[in-house]
């Protein structure tokens, strides 16, 4: 009799918990959005290339009544157009406000408000999340809006760089994360956001139980406290043998592969690549600028990239930015004044 009561109690608990997850889903889903992007991309290699308008998909979630939405940086970093689709089918254009690619977080904002009041979700303290905690993710895998996946926190990882600053911090989970889920909110058992879906580790390019989400604490720090500047650049640090192959006149440099219109990179005149090639197993878009230094900081290693980033982060309208680039084999010293229209 005692065992029977325990079994009944167990099933009541499971049913009750499932209902709780369902209730939290219903409460939160209207704040979760599908993000549709388009941008120009080089397709093909060498001289057999085409410049096509490529569409992308991602997820995000509303964090303010003013239309601010958090998503993954790689979803919007070089996008030319961004359209946000809500659960009721309404679509509204958006623009990038802040972005920090190393942590894969970005803040976008609606260009005009939705016709009906926005639903928002709250961000929680991700430091309180523990390995073994159950979580759930609402996203748009493969464009299937408001899909629910449930799992557990499997691990927590952070990367510290010069000065002890944590520039990226991730929660590992076995909850399904697939293409289109990037930028989706990860909720705790209270329905609070503790992470932003970022990437997976997989040999098959499909989900294999190793998904990662940027922590809410890092997102809050980078997007709201520091207000990370949106460079709009898809960049790749080139060192070693590759630096020699590309004739970089120093130990390394930053290959500019794409530059989004109206971004800081576009404002200061950087040019993206036009040829897609594969060198030593790496697919790169070359033919554009290679950044050699910013404010006399040689861009030859990751630590220096962070120093340069910090300098750029503190720029204001009217300030002067000095940088050196390699363009079509010629080293150019550039000086640009940040225009008044630029908002950090």
Instruction: Indicate the domain borders of the chain.
Output: 126-225, 233-337
pLDDT at position 52: 63
Q: For the chain, how are helix, strand and coil distributed in percent, rounded to 5?
A: 25, 40, 35
Beta bridge partners of 144: none
Residues in Cβ contact with 241 at an 8 Å cutoff, skipping those fewer than 6 apart: 280
- Tell me yes or no: is domain 126-225 CATH 2.40.10.10: yes
pLDDT at position 13: 46
Beta bridge partners of 71: 60, 106
pLDDT at position 145: 79
Identify the weakest region by mean pLDDT among 6-10, 25-29, 251-255, 286-290. 6-10
Residue tagged 């254009």 (tokens): 93
Q: 283-320, pLDDT tens digit by residue?
A: 899 999 999 999 999 999 988 998 998 899 888 889 99
Number of C-beta neighbours around residue 116 at 10 A: 10
The residues annotated as belonging to the active site are 74, 104, 182
Higher-scoring residue by pLDDT: 15, 147: 147
pLDDT at position 205: 57
- Tell me yes or no: is domain 233-337 CATH 2.60.40.10: no
Its pTM stands at 0.87
Half-sphere exposure of 129 (CA within 13 A, CB side): 34
Rounded to whole angstroms, the Cα distance separating 254 from 331 reads 14
Rounded to whole angstroms, the Cα distance separating 143 from 181 reads 8
pLDDT at position 164: 45
Strands of 261-339 (E only): list them: 275-279, 282-286, 290-294, 297-298, 320-327, 330-337
pLDDT at position 180: 87
**Average pLDDT, rounded, for the chain:** 87
Identify the weakest region by mean pLDDT among 50-64, 259-273, 285-299. 50-64
pLDDT exceeds cutoff 90 at 131: yes
pLDDT at position 10: 47
Half-sphere exposure of 299 (CA within 13 A, CB side): 25
Q: What are residue 339's phi and psi, to 5 degrees?
A: -70, 160
Q: How far does CA 204 lie from the centroid of its chain? A: 22
Rounded to whole angstroms, the Cα distance separating 147 from 342 reads 37
pLDDT exceeds cutoff 60 at 162: no
pLDDT exceeds cutoff 70 at 196: yes
Q: 180-192, pLDDT tens digit by residue?
A: 899 999 999 999 9
pLDDT exceeds cutoff 50 at 159: yes
């Amino acid at each position: 009799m005692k065992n029977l009561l325990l079994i009944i109690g167990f099933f009541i608990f499971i049913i009750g918990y499932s209902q709780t997850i369902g209730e939290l889903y219903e409460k939160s889903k209207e704040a979760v959005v599908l993000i549709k992007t388009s941008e120009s991309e080089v397709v093909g290699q060498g001289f057999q290339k085409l410049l096509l308008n490529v569409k992308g998909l991602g997820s995000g979630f509303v964090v303010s009544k003013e239309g601010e939405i958090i998503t993954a940086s790689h979803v919007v970093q070089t996008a030319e157009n961004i359209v946000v689709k809500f659960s009721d089918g309404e679509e509204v254009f958006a623009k990038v406000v802040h972005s920090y690619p190393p942590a894969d977080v970005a803040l976008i904002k609606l260009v005009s408000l939705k016709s009906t009041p926005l639903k928002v979700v709250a961000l929680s303290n991700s430091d309180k999340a523990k390995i073994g905690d159950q979580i759930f993710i609402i996203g748009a895998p493969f464009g299937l809006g408001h899909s629910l996946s449930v799992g557990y926190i499997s691990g927590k990882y952070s990367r510290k760089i010069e000065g002890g600053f944590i520039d990226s911090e991730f929660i590992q989970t076995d909850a399904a994360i697939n293409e289109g889920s990037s930028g989706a909110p990860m909720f705790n058992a209270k329905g609070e956001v503790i992470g932003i879906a970022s990437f997976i580790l997989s040999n098959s390019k499909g989900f294999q139980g190793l998904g990662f989400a940027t922590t809410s604490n890092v997102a809050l720090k980078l997007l709201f406290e520091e207000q990370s500047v949106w460079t709009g650049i898809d960049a790749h640090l080139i060192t070693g043998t590759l630096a020699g192959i590309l004739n970089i006149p120093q130990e390394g440099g930053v290959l500019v592969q794409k530059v989004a219109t109206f971004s800081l990179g576009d404002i200061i005149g950087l040019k993206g690549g036009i040829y897609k090639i594969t060198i030593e197993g790496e697919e790169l878009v070359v033919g554009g600028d290679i950044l050699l230094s910013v404010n006399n900081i040689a861009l030859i290693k990751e630590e220096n990239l962070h120093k340069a980033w910090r300098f750029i982060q503190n720029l204001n309208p009217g300030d002067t930015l000095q940088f050196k680039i390699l363009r079509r084999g010629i080293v150019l010293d550039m000086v640009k004044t940040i225009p008044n229209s630029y908002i950090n």
